[in-house]
Amino acid sequence: MSRLFVLACLSLVVGCTPSLGRPGEASAAGAITVFAASSLTDAFTKAGAVFEGRVPGADITFNFGSSSTLATQITNGAPADVFASADEPNMQKVVDAELVDGSPSVFAGNHLEIAVAPGNPKRIAALADLARPGVIVILAAPTVPAGRYALESLNKAGVSLSPASQEIDVRAVLNKVALGEADAGIVYVTDVVSAGTRVTGVAIQERYQVIGRYPIAVTRSATKPTLAHAFVDYLLSSDGQQLLAGFGFSRP
């Protein structure tokens, strides 16, 4: 049975309610590991559950972290079947190492937002307010996509500040703000959505925005390449895009 035929069958499976006995389902059964940027945690956890419900025998394990850390892990031989990055430069590291099967596809976009304590007690209304005396600001490390995007946004606005800390990934920034360990942090819109009432979001003016582009690819070492490609196809499908939009992601 050709891989193209199996992929065609899987496309039907992930797009509708599965039924037993579909061609290709036995080939699709198995486990894959998806390395994904930390900002994808909630969306991918849901997407994985939906996909597993539609493809009998599919089992997806996620490894969430900063895109830079994940790219390093993959280039050092970590067993990833799929890599979803929050930026293109870190995906390019994996491509340059000739570890990608085919070409990456950009499947989502993400905007920046300022996360502050619930109710915004410091009355932060714009990026310039982050430089006020007495405002404790944290950012993701500049090696992390969210950290690099935040610095680009601050530079656009002409704002200079010294963050109290530079975190390992964007979720660490969000959690510190939510726990009251910082007054503000620059995160993604999707992070603010995921936090619910734990933080308040302050919009960044459009002219200072830096939009993250999220590429995804199957690795050449994938143990179940058909299943891995089917998961990527699901995320690119109209159903997958609708699910991502529900978590605050924009279409690529």
Q: Which amino acid is at 37?
A: A
pLDDT of residue 24: 42
Question: How long a stretch of residues is the chain?
Answer: 252
Contacts of 139 (CB under 8 A, 6+ apart): 146, 147, 150, 151, 163, 166, 167, 173, 185, 186
pLDDT of residue 209: 97
Q: Which amino acid is at 142?
A: P
Buried b (16+ CB within 10 A) or exposed e, 23-58: ebbebbebebbbbbbbbbbbbbeebbeebeebbbeb
Q: Which amino acid is at 231?
A: F
Per-residue model confidence as pLDDT tens for the chain (252 residues)? 344 434 444 544 454 433 333 334 435 679 999 999 999 999 999 999 999 999 999 999 999 999 999 999 999 999 999 999 999 999 999 999 999 999 999 999 999 999 999 999 999 999 999 999 999 999 999 999 999 999 999 999 999 999 999 999 999 999 999 999 999 999 999 999 999 999 999 999 999 999 999 999 999 999 999 999 999 999 999 999 999 999 999 998
Give me the phi and psi of 251, to 5 degrees please: -70, 145
Q: Which 8-state DSSP code applies to residue 247?
A: T
Residue with tokens 């089992």: 59
Distance in angstroms (rounded) separating the CA atoms of residues 71 and 90 = 6
Work out whether the CA dihedral 49, 53, 57, 58 comes out positive or negative.
negative
Domains and CATH numbers, the chain: 3-109+213-246 (3.40.190.10), 112-208 (3.40.190.10)
